[in-house]
Amino acid sequence: MANTNKKYELSPFVKWAGGKKQLLEKLMHYAPDSFERYYEPFIGGGAFLFELQPEKAIINDVNEQLLNIYKCLKTDADALIAEIRKLDSVDCDKERYYNLRDVFNDKISNRSLDIECAALMIWINKHCFNGLYRVNSKGLFNVPYNNKKAGKSMNEDNLRNIGKYLAENDIEITQGDFESACKSAKAGDFVYFDSPYIPESETASFTDYTKDGFTYEDHERLAVLFSELDSRGVKVMLSNNNVPLVYELYDGYVINPVDAKRSINSDASNRFGKEVIITNY
Ligand SMILES: C[S@@+](CC[C@H](N)C(=O)[O-])C[C@H]1O[C@@H](n2cnc3c(N)ncnc32)[C@H](O)[C@@H]1O
């Protein structure tokens, strides 16, 4: 059970596929009591980071627009809040949504990772269908409008406090593949992997989180990295669906089936929990 240094009440600033809000209690239960530096190579919406609030961390994702938001929050949360306020000050309709989506896509194409790009991504996340992040083969965002006309795209206090947490602590924000994000992890550090999940059924297809998707080979690569980190003395935790492939890939490690809705004790006897939390300690 992790000891938390929680100073702020923080929650994810975007709705994100695979968000870990429902599983936080279980993740806290299976996380190690103590560790040096925390690594989260698939940070997404950051639900677990915001619960754990480690003092030293490296957070990473392949999505550079998402990482840009974390960077803007760390550098100047108030400036980002002001930019989002401007977007929220005008009611939305179909035309406005698709115009702003075009502006966001220009930012993606030009790789302009600035405060406007961060504000647009947060605003779009609240105005697009189901808060999805999906891109086409050119890497351009293509989720349709959810028909929401007005309302706030943010909780200002939450953004301000996330900014404080990121700035007051030693939090490094990197963009890239999960393997390179773990290069500096050493004995005593703690890595939590929450990759795109293996599909629940064999007929379901792998989710495309980015233009590259996350393939079967990526899952194999992740399992190899898990055991490399294990042999370096790093504490490793990983979540995934409770499917046969997971038992093949992580044979020999502690695989705990969990159900977001059930208590810890009832999970222990339940080999059929929907998800698993795997640890090497
Ligand atoms: C299941 S989500 C993480 C959800 C996160 N735990 C949360 O609470 O919101 C998986 C994340 O992995 C990222 N991703 C996909 N392929 C990646 C790769 N090869 N390296 C690093 N990140 C990757 C996606 O952009 C996505 O944010």
Dmax of the chain from CA atoms?
55
Closest C-alpha to ligand 1, atom 19: 177
Mean pLDDT of 256-275: 74
- Cβ-count burial of 227 within 10 angstroms (0-12 exposed, 13-18 middle, 19+ buried)? middle
- Region of poorest pLDDT, from 62-71, 145-154, 264-273: 264-273
CA of 85: how far to CAs of 78, 150, 203, in Å?
10, 12, 43
Write out the DSSP string of 131-149: G---B-TTS-B-PPB----
pLDDT value of position 251: 97
Cα(91) to ligand 1 centroid in Å equals: 31
From ligand 1's centre to the CA of 90, what distance in Å? 32
- Quick check: 266 pLDDT over 70? no
- For ligand 1, what atom is nearest to the CA of residue 177? 20
Residue 214 Cα to ligand 1 midpoint, Å, equals 9
Averaged pLDDT for residues 254-264? 83
- With beta carbons less than 8 A apart as the criterion, state whether 161 and 50 touch: no
Q: Give the tens place of pLDDT for each residue, 68-103.
A: 999 999 999 999 999 999 999 999 999 999 999 999
pLDDT at 97: 97
Pocket test for ligand 1, best of 14, 38, 42 (most atoms within 8 A of CB): 42
Determine the pLDDT at residue 85.
97
Least confident range from 182-186, 210-214, 224-228: namely: 210-214
Report the atom number in ligand 1 closest to the C-alpha of 47.
8
Encode pLDDT of 108-163 as tens digits: 999 999 999 999 999 999 999 998 899 988 889 999 999 988 788 999 999 999 99
Nearest ligand 1 atom to the CA of 212 is 16
The whole-chain average pLDDT of the chain stands at 91
From the CA of 79, how far away is ligand 1's center (Å)? 26
Which pLDDT does position 21 carry in this prediction? 87
CA of 2 to the centre of ligand 1 (A): 22
> What percentage of residues in the chain have a pLDDT greater than 90?
77
- The reported pTM is 0.94
Q: Please, what are the domains in the chain?
A: 21-62+178-279 (3.40.50.150), 66-157 (1.10.1020.10)
Angle at 208 between CA 202 and CA 211, to 5 degrees: 145
Closest by CA to 227, choosing from 184, 191, 175, is 191
Contact 143, 129 (CB under 8 A): yes
Q: What is the pLDDT of residues 3-56, one digit of tens each?
A: 777 899 999 999 998 888 889 999 999 999 999 999 999 999 999 999 999 999
- Best mutation site among 14, 15, 61, 193 for ligand 1 pocket (most ligand atoms within 8 Å of CB): 61
For ligand 1, the distance from its centroid to the CA atom of residue 67, given in whole angstroms, is 11
Q: Any residues with Cβ below 6 Å from ligand 1, and which?
A: 12, 16, 18-20, 41-42, 44-45, 47, 61-63, 177-178, 194-196, 209-210, 214, 218
CA of 62 to the centre of ligand 1 (A): 7
What stretch of H or E contains 260? Answer: none
Comparing 281 with 264, the larger pLDDT belongs to 281
Q: Quick: pLDDT tens for 171-211.
A: 999 999 999 999 999 999 999 999 998 887 655 555 443 33
Ligand 1 atom closest to Cα of 40?
Answer: 6
Q: In what order do the strands lie in the sheet with 190-193?
A: 170-175, 56-61, 38-40, 190-193, 235-241, 275-279, 254-258
